[in-house]
Each structure stands twice: as structure tokens, then as C-alpha cells.
Amino acid sequence: MSYSQLPKIDFIYKHDKPNYLISSNYFVVIRDKSQSYIYCCRCNQKSLHGVSVKILKYSEPISDDFLLTRLGQGDVLEITTKSDEDWVPYPLQDGFQTDLDPKSSELLTENNELKEKLKTLKESKDTMERELREELNALKSSLNNILDQNSKQLSKESNELREELLTLKASKHAMEREFWDELSALKSGFVSLFTINQDLDQKSQELCKENHELRQKLVALKSSLHNILDQNSRQLSKESNDLLEELSALKASKGMIETEVKALRDEVMALKNWKNIKDKRDREMDDEIQYLLMF
């Protein structure tokens, strides 16, 4: 029976010879125990337009749109089931692979695009985290420098105040020694008590005045120190609040990125589930075809 004598049907029907199944267009699958062959109906021979016959596996899927057969360790053959006018044979070559069907190709393209988007988002997230760490380290370094400078300034001013206080104490002791020396000299010189009292009153007033000036200086220094400490504390508090606001903004941005990444993962999972359903349907069709091939 030649190809021109084969009736056209929608899918597959039985040949009158044993172990033959003939498709609706162009090809026959010959099953022989542990092997299968492609038989070209148009040429009526075991070849596909001059190409050598290759061994097939039993698990090749056959559908209404195409026959996708795996050969050897990776060669793939696709035979279309279009009309006689539109049919173009694919030559068999080592390492030759055909394109996937449109749905699978579209799914693969979308999956690759989603992977690229996910990769881009991960890189963006890593970049933002790295920049955030760098900014935090810079802010910490700046804050430490400010604290060190303020600490050095306060230590310097405190040392100056200590030195000035020691100088004032030494001056006071010197004046007291001078006073007592003069008093001893006055006593030894039989200076009048009136003169001595006047000198004592004058010295006492001078000492009181100096003590009052010292106290005023100490109060002014304490007030200056408190003002410096309050100013530094407010500055540090403001910088800390600014850092907290920047951290909150960065955390919010990070949360949005994680939300987008989760949404993309959900889309990828949905596509994977759709592909698993499609693969399951293809396997069910393969099982039906294998069942037909066994008759």
C-alpha cells in the first residue's frame, strides 16, 4: 500500500500488516520487539527522504500537531503533521534539536524573563544592603570622630580649669604667707594695732574679693561646661534621630523589594504549577498513544 492509497484520518489507524501503526500524514512507526523505526509513507521505504533510519525509544510522544522523538543520548527529531503542500521534512543530524512548541517556548521565555528580573532584584537588593552598610559605617565613623573631638575638647578645657585653679590656690597660699610674714614683721616692729588692723582689714577685703572673683570664674566655667555638654548632647541626639529615620526609610525600601521578590516567586511557582499540569496531560496522552501502539 503506497502513501497515495492511505486514507486521511484525524490521527492514527491500523495498517493491514502486523506490528504497523500509520499516522494521518507522512510517517509510519514500525515496532519490532525492542526497536522502532520511522517509515516514510511518501517514499515507501525505511528512510526519511534519503536520511538513514535511526532507532527510536517506545516512549516517544505523538500529538495532533507534531511528533517529538528523542534519539540516542540527546538528538531530537520533530516531524510535523501538516498538509502535503506545506510539509517540510527535517533532516536528521547528530546533535540536532528542534524548537519547542509555541506554548512551551513562550513559557520558557517568560520563565527566563522572570529569572532575570529576580536576579536583577537580588543584585539590586545586595547593592542597597551594601550601600546601607557602607553608609552606616561612615555614619558610625563620623559619630565616633565627633565624640572623640568633643571628648578631647572637654578634656583640654578641664585640664585648663584645673591648672587655673591650682594657680589660684598657689596665689592664695602665697598671699596668706605674705600676710602672716608681714604680720610677724609688724608685731616684731611694734607696729601699732590700728595700723595692723587696717592692713588686716584691707588684706581680708582683698582676699574676700579674690575669693569672690574665683567663685564667679568657677560658676562661669561650670555654666560653660554645661552649655557645651548640652549642645553636644542635642547635636548627638539630632544625628541619632537622623540615622534612625534613614534606617527606617531603608528598611521600608527593603520591605518593598522583598514584597516584589515574593510576588515574582509566586508568579514563578504558578508558572511551574501550570507547566506540571501541562506535562501531566502530555504524559497522559503519551500513555494513550502507547496503548494504541501496542495493538
Residues 133-170: tens digit of each pLDDT: 888 888 888 888 888 888 888 888 888 888 888 888 88
| pTM as predicted | 0.24
Is 291 a member of any domain?
Answer: no
Give strand pairing partners of 31. Answer: 36
Q: What integer is the mean pLDDT of 125-133?
A: 89
Which whole-number Å values give the CA distances from 57 to 36, 69, 89, 203, in the listed order? Answer: 7, 8, 20, 124
The answer on 125 and 72 residing in a single domain is no
Question: In this structure, which long-range contacts are made by residues 277-283, counting pairs with CB atoms below 8 Å and at least 24 apart in sequence?
Answer: 278/103, 278/104, 282/61, 282/63
- What values do phi and psi take at 60, rounded to 5? -70, 135
Q: Residue 287 and residue 280: Cα distance in Å, rounded?
A: 11
Number of folded domains that form the chain: 2
Q: What integer is the mean pLDDT of 113-119?
A: 83
Query: First and final CA of the chain: distance in angstroms?
Result: 20
The answer on 242 and 121 residing in a single domain is yes
Q: What integer is the mean pLDDT of 66-92?
A: 34
- Per-residue pLDDT tens digits for 164-218: 888 888 888 888 888 888 777 766 665 566 776 777 788 888 889 888 898 898 8
Is 105 a member of any domain?
Answer: no
Contact between 51 and 92 under an 8 Å Cβ cutoff? The reply is yes
The answer on 64 and 146 residing in a single domain is no
Is 19 a member of any domain?
Answer: yes
Contact between 92 and 52 under an 8 Å Cβ cutoff? The reply is yes
Last residue of a domain, one of 66, 98, 130: 98
The answer on 63 and 142 residing in a single domain is no
Q: Of all helices (H) and strands (E), which one includes residue 200? A: helix 193-293
Last residue of a domain, one of 98, 131, 159: 98
